Structure 1
Amino acid sequence: MLCSTCRTRPPVTADGRCALCAQPPGPAGAEALPAPAFTAPQQWLRSPDVLAKTVVVLLAVVVVADLLAVAADLNIRSLLGSALDKGFVAIDQAEADRADTFYAGTGVLQFLTTVATAVAFIMWFWRVRANAGIFDASAQPMRPGWAIGGWFVPVAGLWLPRRIAGGIWAASGQTNTDGGWRDVPRTPMNLWWGAWVLSLLVGRYASGQYDRAETPQEIVNAASQMAVADLLDIVAAVFAILFVRKLTRMQGERAALGPYPLGARP
């Protein structure tokens, strides 16, 4: 349930309004408070720009690693598919060794880039959560520490970070010049989260199938599934880039506006 006035924060009054909307209007003609920048130490705001750029670069590297993994998947599939049609005596052992080495190498590259990106992304996520708490603490459904810990909770980690991201998004939405709240569509956030969860689930399933595969046909099928999982990971990385860039830009715009103008709310 959300505030009956702004539709962004939880209600705290009997008539369904949040803490900000329930505040009495200030004196007529009151001037807006000066707008702080991210560099204003008294506001305790810290710019997420550098972390966001780092995350975007690492996500681009993840895309490259996934493309190489797709090529390795298809190479394994093609090699074994040809063997099933023509017989295994037709397989060049050197070519088979190269395909196996290529597949293993892309797996290591994917692991390293994923770990590096995850660390940078969580650092950025914690930073924007800290800023969101300053913008509007009442819009945050969980404490700041969950911006880190929420990713590591078994099963619940599939939705806790999305819940936290929703609060960050709401608090970072640019306010209008009269203090009203502008509803920013959450499409980038929803696309990122949906694609990430889907790629995670499909990836784990395909990896399990590949590890359990014993016959050539099973390996061929598992390689196809791994290729699909890697393609989904590319899609998730692209949506993550869009989400990071959009939310970082929103926080810059929100910081430039400063506190709500006095007496602007009804």
Structure 2
Amino acid sequence: MILLLLVAVADIASIMATLNMRRLVAGVLDDGFVAFPEADAEFADALMAATSFASIVFVLATIVVFIIWFHRVRCNAGVFATDWFTNGTGMAVGSWFIPIGNLWIPRRVAVETWTASRADHLAPSRHEPTTLVNAWWTAWLITICLGRVASRLYDRAETADEIVSAADLLVAAGVTNIVAAVLAILFVRRLTHMQHTKALALSQTPRTV
């Protein structure tokens, strides 16, 4: 959760750097020629590079820790409901690295893990619904799509208008990534609590010989 929070903070910094570049390009045009000092342009570029690098570092660290946690909660859920899952525990890790399939398989693992971790996994879906899982996954997919498109457009941008348009998409991608990070924090916190509660309840259940 701490790493996810750092990702959100890094995204805020990236958004501020992108807005600074957008302001510089959009606000000081003179007959089609850029009229701002070269030092300002170099600083804006350096700021965007630094914040982008920080974001990448935090994202990579978060991915590693998140997948470890994801595998652990899947293993826990397998104890709660042994015959509930479509695939084995290894898919909690491997599904993230399957081309195309990583767009939906991890979500299926998350939904099955969430359901198995409810107080009664056979109860109707209105009990601990998967709304939070779906919201997090939707925000994550939007972030991936927007981020890739925005990055490509910015790298290829040559005119001021193209830079401004790409910057707008970068800001949008940053906002959706912040939303995804916040939803991921809530998802991690809630699922961990559900499993802790269920484990305590099971440990207090009298066993018959």
Query: TM-score of the superposition, structure 1-length normalised?
Result: 0.73
Q: Which of the numbers 145, 159, 163 marks the counterpart of 1:215?
A: 159
Letter in 2 for 1:151: W
Q: Which of the numbers 89, 95, 113 marks the counterpart of 1:150?
A: 95
Secondary structure of 1:137's aligned partner: coil
Is 1:171 equivalent to 2:116 in the alignment?
A: yes
Task: Determine the C-alpha separation between the residues in 1 that align with 2:207 and 2:153.
Answer: 60
Structure 1 equivalent of residue 193 of structure 2? 249
Task: Determine the C-alpha separation between the residues in 2 that align with 1:85 and 1:136.
Answer: 67
Residue-by-residue CA offset, 1:130-187 (whole Å, 9 max, x unaligned)? 00111102111111111001001111100000000111011100139xxx74631111
Letter in 2 for 1:153: I
Secondary structure of 1:138's aligned partner: coil
Identity %: 45
Is 1:225 equivalent to 2:147 in the alignment?
A: no
Task: Determine the C-alpha separation between the residues in 1 that align with 2:151 and 2:86.
Answer: 34
Letter in 1 for 2:150: A
Q: Please show how residues 127-146 of structure 1 align to structure 2 within 5 Å.
A: 127-146=72-91
Letter in 2 for 1:189: V
Q: Please show how residues 46-61 of structure 1 align to structure 2 within 5 Å.
A: 56-61=1-6
Q: Say what the alpha-carbon RMSD is for the aligned residues.
A: 2.0
Letter in 1 for 2:163: I
**Superposed displacement of residue 255, structure 1:** 0.5
**Superposed displacement of residue 262, structure 1:** 8.1
Higher helix share: 2
Cα distance 1:186–1:261, how it changes in 2: closer, same or farther (>3 A)?
farther
Task: Determine the C-alpha separation between the residues in 1 that align with 2:74 and 2:200.
Answer: 17
Q: Which of the numbers 47, 59, 75 marks the counterpart of 2:20?
A: 75
- Matched residue count: 205
Task: Determine the C-alpha separation between the residues in 2 that align with 1:168 and 1:227.
Answer: 33
Runs (4+) off by over 6 Å? 259-263
Is 1:199 equivalent to 2:143 in the alignment?
A: yes
Q: Which of the numbers 112, 127, 141 marks the counterpart of 2:57?
A: 112
Give unpaired runs (5+ residues) of structure 1.
Answer: 1-55
Letter in 2 for 1:187: T
Task: Determine the C-alpha separation between the residues in 2 that align with 1:57 and 1:115.
Answer: 14
Query: TM-score of the superposition, structure 2-length normalised?
Result: 0.92
Letter in 1 for 2:38: Q
Task: Determine the C-alpha separation between the residues in 1 that align with 2:92 and 2:115.
Answer: 15
Which has the higher Rg, Structure 1 or Structure 2? 1
Structure 2 equivalent of residue 95 of structure 1? 40
8 Å CA contact 2:133, 2:187 repeated in 1: yes
